Chains A and B, each alone.
Chain A
Amino acid sequence: KAGVTQTPRYLIKTRGQQVTLSCSPISGHRSVSWYQQTPGQGLQFLFEYFSETQRNKGNFPGRFSGRQFSNSRSEMNVSTLELGDSALYLCASSLAGTRETQYFGPGTRLLVL
């Protein structure tokens, strides 16, 4: 089976812009979770989607949003970008949720200037 894929792999944006990241889970996986990884804050959970519904949400501002499509692909959107949003954004998929083995994608490295 193909692994989790994320596009784009690298992005450079300026403050105030918005960005959309995409994640394609492993075939058959219905759960997609998003994480932000930074040197200062480590790995932080953003949200989890299951069957097109947001099931869990971390402690991030409303500028961070997401959605999941009927084919389980997920997108994450960040509006009004801030310098502090520069990070590696990882998505992970699993069959049924974050309590099972999650398979991470390669990540999208976002740089906000």
Chain B
Amino acid sequence: GENVEQHPSTLSVQEGDSAVIKCTYSDSASNYFPWYKQELGKRPQLIIDIRSNVGEKKDQRIAVTLNKTAKHFSLHITETQPEDSAVYFCAAQPKLFGSNNNDMRFGAGTRLTVKP
């Protein structure tokens, strides 16, 4: 099955700086990589996702890059704001349906703090 590692576990940045969170995965069959943001006491929310046929995707201040050869993908947040403070989870899912090994695996999470 898939194994996803996420680093760092905590990240503190000054408002306006950039933040980068990295994840590695083990299953080369994984082809869908979402990122979720979870604020304290709230439900996770999808902020961006990428599929394996794309190397980079951007949505305003958020971007995700994928290196299939190295099996790692990263979340980049530019011009951080205090409201970006949350726990961010990466995930990876293989593309095969109907298999017990086709579950979505999550990273352990990164607690991002943006200091004003």
Chain B residues in 8 Å Cβ range of A90: 43-44
Q: Which chain B residues numbered 82 to 116 have a C-beta less than 8 Å away from chain A?
A: 89, 91, 93, 95, 97-100, 102-109
- Docked Cα-Cα span, A102 to B47, in Å, equals 11
The answer to whether residues A57 and B103 also contact, given A99-B93, A102-B46 and a CB cut-off of 8 A, is yes
A interface majority secondary structure: strand
Q: How many residues of A contact B (CB 8 A)?
A: 21
1/0 contact string of A46-70 vs chain B (CB within 8 Å): 0000000001111100000000000
Picked from A98, A104, A107, the residue with its CB within 8 Å of the CB of B104 is A98
List the count of A-B residue pairs having beta carbons below 8 Å apart.
49
The reply to whether B103 and A56 contact each other, CB–CB distance below 8 Å, is yes
The reply to whether A107 and B1 contact each other, CB–CB distance below 8 Å, is no
The answer to whether residues A57 and B43 also contact, given A42-B107, A44-B106, A101-B49 and a CB cut-off of 8 A, is no
The reply to whether A55 and B104 contact each other, CB–CB distance below 8 Å, is no
The answer to whether residues A43 and B43 also contact, given A56-B103, A57-B103 and a CB cut-off of 8 A, is no
Q: How many residues of B contact A (CB 8 A)?
A: 24
Chain A residues in 8 Å Cβ range of B102: 56
Picked from B34, B97, B104, B108, the residue with its CB within 8 Å of the CB of A42 is B108
Q: Which chain A residues numbered 55 to 102 have a C-beta less than 8 Å away from chain B?
A: 55-59, 90, 92, 98-99, 101-102
Minimum Cβ distance to chain B for residue A37 (Å): 8
Minimum Cβ distance to chain B for residue A89 (Å): 12
The reply to whether A104 and B44 contact each other, CB–CB distance below 8 Å, is yes
The reply to whether A43 and B49 contact each other, CB–CB distance below 8 Å, is no
A residues contacting B by CB (< 8 A) are 33, 42-45, 55-59, 90, 92, 98-99, 101-107
